[in-house]
Chain A
Amino acid sequence: MRFGFTEDQQRFRTDVRQALRSAKIRTAVADVTATDCVEPDARPLYCLLGDLGLLAVHWPAEFGGADRPLTDAAIVAEELVRAGVPDTLHVNTIQIVGQFLLMAGSAEQKRRHLPALARGERFASVLYTEPDAGSDLGSLRTVAEPDGDGYRITGTKVLNLKTRFANLGLCAARTTPEAGKYQGISLFLIDLGAPGVTVTVMPGISDEQFHRVDLDSVPVSADDLLGLRDQGWALLNEALAVERTGLDHHLKSECWLQAALEALIQRVPDAPPDAYLEQIGRWDGALAADEVLVWEVLTGLAADRIDPVVAAIAKYHSSELAQSIALWAADIPSPEQRANRTRAAVILDSAYREAPGLTLSAGTSEVMLKIITTAFDSMGQERC
């Protein structure tokens, strides 16, 4: 086991950090920093990052990547967030939809979609949740009816992020509705500019708005079917396990704790009360553990090992931690700091409003606990 990074990884991290320090990138980052609950359009920034070849370094070169290991992609993701790049477009487009295409897409689908995603020219959204199918995705009602060589998709998807900025949707729909709850589901790539697609904003408390996507007999070709027809449930579960590295939540924890400390240092320049020190120590310890849990998933994925329990533990720990830090830190900025809209105060206000979603999206904490309970029967076989 190695709990540190190799020299090659450290060099790579330094190179990425250097690239992100360019004036052009810093200006673009400043332009997309959310203020007063407005969700900026980060696509121009992503276009610059695509030009630098930073968005999908682990993808094969023929699909716009740099043939680097998945662990290097995680290093890039860390540095992007640390440089202030809003990460949801990256998480949705590259880490979820792109990664899923890479795993389950046909060669033609990969050629058609991946290079533009890697260049930051096109973006993707995840269309799983429906008004009556949240954690219980097996209840989804969207249908894909055969139409000539392709399908027509009808249904409603809700609570998805960044969809109004996206070009492509990864959509779950029933292709054989009578087959049973978990059978007859297929996955499609939908052109969000196609006729019959209506995207509307669902206002929510966080800076990033939810969307509702109404699909009214939206035409998709057979080439847009991802994987085999009716075999989507297994793919969906695999995709969810890949989503659950916890990396995005870990980076939020890191960022929010740092903002809290910044506010605290400005507010109480001398030593803060012991109660603060004690809690800061706890967060520091939890963050260190969190990093290891996240990287355990990442190194497993890099070796083609997908362990749903390990992923669920990482997702549960990282999302609960990020949420707890956000809630704790909400009270730290003083009235003066809030009035002056200091950088830390703005970050922490945004964090508080984002926090409830962390333990809900990509599988609620309760779903994660349910998955973890499947480990009971194999207990006693622990390895360090």
Chain B
Amino acid sequence: MDLTPDPLIDELRTVLRAALARVPVRFEVHGAPVTDGASGPARAMLDQLGAADFERPCSAGGLDLGLTAGVLVSEELGRAACGNPYRADAMAADVGFPTGAALAGLEALPIGTGVIATPRAGGWELTGAVTVDDSEPRTLLVAVRAGGHPTLVAVPPGAPGRSLETGCWPPVVQLASTPIAETDVVARLDDSPTGPLARARLRQAAYLLGIADGATLITVRHTGVRRQFDTTLRDLQAVSFSLARALVALRATRALVYRGAWLVDAGHDQVGTAPVVTLAMAAETARDVVRVCMQNCGAWSMTAELGLHRYFRLAAAESNRYGEPAALWRLAGAARLDSARRAVTDDDERGLVMAVSQPR
């Protein structure tokens, strides 16, 4: 391993951070904390930077910076507590679909049936209510289980039975016997370690990492100037140690996010469950770290004063958006146990005791 930071990625981070600092944010304490999707204010900035070209291969006219660049963009969006107009286009690009669609229903992928696909002649009927990441009436790429397989299907704006509920946040799309044809199937979302779903999970993990990181930064600054008991909050060990633990969690999560992206970019045979594990850890890090930040900043965190409330709201919505963490952990745990079981069997067949440890 050589974990010396890549100067190009460092430079890209600096550019993104500077650009995101100019993107207007929503400070209202009620209603949606961010504007998601293609109509969000971060979209213009990303377009200006040509972010759509970052991951795109050279053969398709892109910069071929790999998923590493994609997770970097996602992390910085989260860190700035911006909505995420990047993920839908990036996933659409991965499955060869035009840009401008919104993603829906990914929360039901590891388990559950957010949208039920009932077979009918020439296709399916979709029924269910799932989270969507845009409040504008766009074409939706909806994750469903069709024929037992996780599948991404396109549902156009005027489709029968489709309605968008924007009074809640995140917005919800309701599908009532919405018909789709086999030609509306955009992609199978298999568990390929380097496929579209794996890539999307890593981008979402990075977004969650950024949310936790941004909240921590606000908290470290605030507790460094806010005085109580004749000292700054940060000089109180109960505060500083909880923030130090948050830093450790952030470093561990960042390690997984960039390792996962590197493994995918390198086409490494060790990708395995890395995207699942990374997403689960990032989801829990975001929830836990933001909670610690809210506590350390006191009641000010619940007002618009610090901007921390946006991170708090985002952490709740985004940590489940691609699946419940516990379900993701169970997937990873089952895979790890299978691997151990195979090792036992192999060793038994060779007449050996089980190795004390298997190299990762």
Could you list which residues of chain A lie within 8 angstroms of chain B, going by C-beta atoms?
1-5, 71, 78, 81-84, 251, 254-255, 258-259, 261-262, 264-265, 271-272, 274, 276-293, 295-296, 298-300, 303, 313, 316-317, 343, 347, 366, 369-370, 372-373, 375-377, 379-380, 382-384
Contacts and interface: CB of A to CB of B under 8 A. Distances in A.
Nearest to A255: B357
A1 B4 contact: yes
Given A285-B281, A313-B251, A379-B217, A82 B4 contact: no
Given A1-B3, A82-B359, A281-B334, 20 more contacts: A3-B1, A82-B358, A254-B357, A255-B356, A281-B273, A281-B280, A281-B332, A288-B277, A289-B252, A299-B1, A313-B248, A317-B251, A317-B252, A370-B241, A375-B247, A376-B224, A377-B224, A379-B220, A384-B13, A384-B257
A83 B2 CA distance: 25
B356 A82 contact: yes
Nearest to B221: A379
Contact of B359 (A2, A78, A262, A300): A78
Given A258-B357, A288-B274, A290-B252, A383 B340 contact: no
B168 interface: no
Contact of A281 (B1, B217, B245, B328): B328
A277 B5 CA distance: 34
B244 interface: yes
Contact of A373 (B240, B326, B358): B240
A376 B68 CA distance: 26
Given A82-B357, A272-B337, A303-B4, A373 B262 contact: no
Contacts of A382: 213, 254
A229 B75 CA distance: 49
Given A3-B263, A265-B341, A285 B277 contact: yes
Contact of B333 (A82, A259, A276): A276
B1 A316 contact: no
B344 A262 contact: yes
B142 to A, nearest CB: 27
B228 interface: no
Contacts of B258: 1, 3, 384
B353 interface: yes
Contacts of B359: 78, 82
Interface residues of B, number: 67
Nearest to B247: A372
B227 interface: no
A274 B328 CA distance: 12
B297 interface: no
Interface in B226-257: 234, 240-241, 243-245, 247-248, 251-257
Given A373-B243, A384-B258, A293 B4 contact: no
Interface string B1-17: 11111100110010000
Given A264-B337, A277-B337, A383 B1 contact: no
> Among A83, A285, A286, A303, which residue has the most Cβ atoms of chain B within 10 A?
A285
A67 B280 CA distance: 42
Contacts of A274: 330
Given A285-B280, A373-B241, A376-B220, A280 B3 contact: no
A167 to B, nearest CB: 29
> What's the dominant secondary structure at chain A's contact region?
helix
17 contacts: A2-B262, A4-B270, A71-B1, A82-B356, A258-B356, A261-B340, A265-B337, A265-B341, A281-B329, A284-B335, A288-B360, A289-B252, A293-B255, A299-B2, A317-B251, A370-B244, A384-B254
A4 B1 contact: yes
> Among A264, A271, A382, which residue has the most Cβ atoms of chain B within 10 A?
A382
A302 B136 CA distance: 52
Contact of A3 (B72, B217, B262, B331): B262
Contacts of A285: 256, 277-278, 280-281, 329, 332
A298 B4 CA distance: 11
A259 B240 contact: no
B121 interface: no
Nearest to B354: A262
B247 A261 contact: no
B336 interface: yes
Contact of A279 (B268, B333, B354): B333
A292 B257 CA distance: 11
A188 B354 CA distance: 43
Nearest to A289: B252
Contacts of A377: 224
A274 B244 CA distance: 32
Contacts of B247: 313, 372, 375
Contacts of A82: 355-359
B266 interface: yes
Contacts of A290: 252
Interface string B341-353: 1001000000001
Given A289-B281, A292-B259, A251 B4 contact: no
The 3 closest A-B pairs by CB, nearest first: A281-B333, A281-B329, A281-B332
B216 interface: yes
Contact of B255 (A4, A84, A278, A296): A296
Contact of B248 (A81, A254, A317): A317
> Among A2, A4, A264, A384, which residue has the most Cβ atoms of chain B within 10 A?
A384
B325 to A, nearest CB: 9
Interface in B115-146: none
A184 B75 CA distance: 48
B262 A1 contact: yes
B327 to A, nearest CB: 9
